Amino acid sequence: MPSTGARLLGPAAGVVSDVFGPPLRALGLVHARRSSGRAGRTHLEVRGLDAPGEAGARKALVEELLAVPGVEGAVVNAVVGRVVVDHAPDVALERLVAVVEEVERRHGHADAAPDTDGSHPADVTPWSRQALALGFDLAGLGLAGVERLLGLLPVTRRVPPLLIGTLGLLDAVPASRGTAESTAGNAPTESWFSLGSAGLQALGSGPLGLLVDACYRAIRADEAASRRRVWQAWDAGAPLERHAAEPVRAYERPGSLRRGPVEKVGDTTGVATLTAFGAAAALLPERAAAVLLAGTPKAARWGREAYAAAAHHAVAEAGIVSMSHSALRQADRVDVVVLGEGLAELADTAAVVGRVVVVDDAATGYAVQRLQEAGRGVVLVSADDAEGLAAADVGIGLGDEAPWTAGLRCADTDQVRAVLAAVAGARAASIRAAVFALLGSAAGAPIAVTTSLVGLTGRANAPVSLAALAAIGVNTWAGRTSTRSARPVHEGRIRAS
């Protein structure tokens, strides 16, 4: 196992790797390998071995790991891109990494793409990323307090508001955020925006902006800790063989998931804000930064994130393992639940999400694809349809042998009902967040263009920050309590096919 020093530096190293990984790979340098685990078991990222034609490489990896003194067992999970190794406590992580790298090199995968999604619940990096950003916020609040108390030179106003506003707009607008994620990956994008936003605000924002950011980071850190805690509890009782998984055929979604309230409001407001900023830069340049800050729809995306984070915490409290951090972040755009006939008992509960389609157990994956082709967002509940769960927008696996392609792994139908209740509340949460964003910008815009220039950026940004704080608070409560409504309802929206 890693030394004490390595364990302490590991969380920070993961964040550094996500921040600098894309440019390092562009220069042909090595991207750090993700690893996690506990005493006697290590989960180690593998690259390039997840294709059906790489069965020989996966077999060779297991055989070579078993040849390492102290290794007691090893299996490859090709779905999540990890090799899971049971070993004696004195087996060094570096030794296991060396074996993995050698097998990858020998089979032509030395330059295979790393995991840039970073959603495995065992990884500590998502928590440490938010904890570090929270530290920046608290440091900024402390610095601002000291300056005010002692009347010192305001170092916390030295960062140009335009820079803070630009980064905030890029983060808040779903189109720009999505472009960054599709280019660099979710984990690097999250690290860039989280640390960049918190760092700039710590040096250049007032107490209100720092307070809002700190609340948001605390909720996201709690989500990561909850996902990791329930995973560790499950992993501690799972035999090694339970982790083995063969590749699942990739299915390309027919078109993007439909735009929800956050996308509609966020993207439209972003375009309007850029237009207003351009006009202000030409006509009233001294007010341009204030216009940019006033128009940032921060409450929309952050409100949805707050609900998803709190709902992931709630399902974790119910013992449900969230394999994907996006599982409940897409829930506001789904409107159909697909069930096999063997799970028709869940139809009444599933009706709170929207239309329910009950099909033959062997046809669930086909039903998911046809519904997506029709422009629907689809939830699939299944105990064995690996391809269908991989294709679904929200995949809910049921039972101890549920496929690893499920975004959420439930042990029984009570847990499935809890997840469906959390999914059902997502759209209302997004609508609330979008409304708060509109209210914040509507209040901030007049301030930005009519009030005194003294302290203008702070005043213009205050309504946006307050709206974001309200969206975070309301949706965090909604997410935390979402699973409490997991009771069957009868709404007559069931169609058998």
pLDDT digits (tens, 9 = 90+) for 92-101: 999 999 999 9
pLDDT digits (tens, 9 = 90+) for 245-284: 999 987 889 989 999 999 999 999 999 999 999 999 999 9
Q: What is the DSSP string of 360-375?
A: -GGGHHHHHHHHHHTT
Q: What is the DSSP string of 74-95?
A: EEEETTTTEEEEEE-TT--HHH
d(CA 20, CA 202): 21
User: Taking CA 432 as the corner, what is the angle to CA 428 and CA 433, rounded to the nearest 5 degrees?
Assistant: 115
pLDDT class for 11, splitting at 50, 70, 90?
low
Side-chain-side CA neighbours of residue 263 (13 Å)? 12
d(CA 196, CA 208): 18
pLDDT of residue 47: 94
pLDDT digits (tens, 9 = 90+) for 304-318: 999 999 999 999 999
pLDDT at residue 151 is higher than 90: no
- Find, among 284, 296, 295, 210, the residue nearest to 453 by Cα: 284
* CA–CA distances in Å: residue 400 to residues 149, 222, 239, 371, 486: 58, 26, 11, 28, 21
Domains parsed from the chain with CATH numbers: 33-106 (3.30.70.100)
> Which residues 6+ apart lie within 8 Å of 227 measured at CB?
121, 126, 312, 316, 321, 322, 325
pLDDT class for 22, splitting at 50, 70, 90?
low
Percent pLDDT > 90 in the chain is 69
d(CA 454, CA 412): 60
Burial class of residue 455 in the structure, from the number of CB atoms within 10 Å of its CB (0-12 exposed, 13-18 middle, 19+ buried): exposed
Tokens coding 356: 């329910």
Q: Is the pLDDT higher at 196 or at 102? A: 102
User: Taking CA 123 as the corner, what is the angle to CA 117 and CA 126, rounded to the nearest 5 degrees?
Assistant: 65
Residue type, 79: V
The mean pLDDT value of the chain amounts to 89
pLDDT class for 451, splitting at 50, 70, 90?
very high
> Would you give the DSSP letter of residue 451?
S
Mean pLDDT of 463-471: 96
Unique residue bearing structure tokens 């750090």: 32
What's the predicted TM-score (pTM) here?
A: 0.91
Residue type, 16: V
Would you say the C-alpha torsion 336, 302, 470, 307 has a positive or negative sign?
positive
pLDDT of residue 200: 78
Which H or E run includes 394? Answer: strand 394-398
Q: Which residue pairs, CB below 8 angstroms and at least 24 apart, start in 229-235?
A: 229/316, 230/121, 230/316, 230/319, 230/320, 230/321, 230/322, 231/121, 231/122, 231/321, 232/38, 232/122, 233/319, 234/321, 234/409, 235/38, 235/41, 235/122
pLDDT at residue 9 is higher than 70: no
> Would you give the DSSP letter of residue 53?
G
* CA–CA distances in Å: residue 339 to residues 315, 349, 367: 20, 11, 9
